[in-house]
Amino acid sequence: MASELRGFVFAVSFIVFFSAFLTTIPADFQGIEQEFDSITPIDPVLLSGFDDYANYSESAFVGWPIPDYEYDSMGGYNWQAIYASDNHFFLARKVLWFGLWLGAKLFADFINEEGINNGQSLSWAEIEADAIDGTHRYNLELENGDSAGGFVVFWNITEYPDPNDAWDNDEFYIVHGLGIGDSATTNIGNLIIGLLFLQIPDVPALVNIFIVVPIWANVIYVLWFLIKEMIPFV
């Protein structure tokens, strides 16, 4: 009995201290800022401050009648960009349930550099009105108040003065990025869940398994001990 109690104390201590220690690791340690080397050059000021990003253009959007582009694990979250048939963009963060997406999502508001909220859809007219020299950076705010990072649009490096024409010719570029402070792993709950379900980005799966096995073992031991103690005849 004493050895079981010792095991229980060990397991509880391990889980509590591990969670507590993880919260003390600064989010900045999860990677130095990435270089934007895979996209066409643009004013770097518009792209600064992103810890993780996705870049895409018209050719990435697939599906009918509402084309969308889904990109997973950007900043630790899964995303869906939608180009509605009435020429509006929408951007949403998928809401996962135990690692599974059942269709729930949080839409983002597009807030321009002057602080004016364009709402959850972004039209060509709004982009043209906001853009200076064919570029603009929107701040994204989700329905629940969380930041969804920045949304940079640009077509100034193309021969098309009109963004809609640039879009039709696959030369309207979008960069959606998250800053270090916005990335999912700054949230201790997400970091622990990511560890438990092998979803931490940039960590080799084998290493993740190596880390997570003792945690699962301790969780199972605690549950087993509690259940055993609650049932008197076991």
List the one residue out of 38, 36, 59 whose CA is nearest residue 150.
Answer: 36
Name residue 100's beta-bridge partners: 97
Cα separation, 7 vs 37, in Å, equals 51
Among 124, 208, 224, 225, binds another protein (CB under 8 A): 208
Cα separation, 84 vs 75, in Å, equals 25
Assess 195 for contact with another protein (CB under 8 A).
yes
Assess 166 for contact with another protein (CB under 8 A).
no
**Element holding 143 (H helix, E strand):** none
Query: How many residues belong to the site for another protein (CB under 8 A)?
Result: 31
The distance in angstroms from the start CA to the end CA of the chain is 13
Instruction: Compute the least distance from the CB of residue 41 to another protein, in Å.
Output: 22
Assess 6 for contact with another protein (CB under 8 A).
yes
Cα separation, 215 vs 167, in Å, equals 48
Among 31, 68, 139, 225, binds another protein (CB under 8 A): 31
Choose between 10 and 162: whose C-beta lies nearer to another protein.
10
Number of alpha carbons in the 13 Å side-chain half-sphere of residue 118: 25
Among 207, 217, 223, 226, binds another protein (CB under 8 A): 207
Instruction: Compute the least distance from the CB of residue 210 to another protein, in Å.
Output: 8
Cα separation, 96 vs 102, in Å, equals 7
Instruction: Compute the least distance from the CB of residue 22 to another protein, in Å.
Output: 6
Assess 205 for contact with another protein (CB under 8 A).
no
Choose between 27 and 39: whose C-beta lies nearer to another protein.
27
Q: Work out whether the CA dihedral 197, 199, 205, 209 comes out positive or negative.
A: negative
Residues making contact with another protein (CB under 8 A): 2-3, 5-7, 9-11, 13-14, 17-18, 21-22, 25, 28-32, 195, 200, 202-204, 207-208, 210-211, 214-215
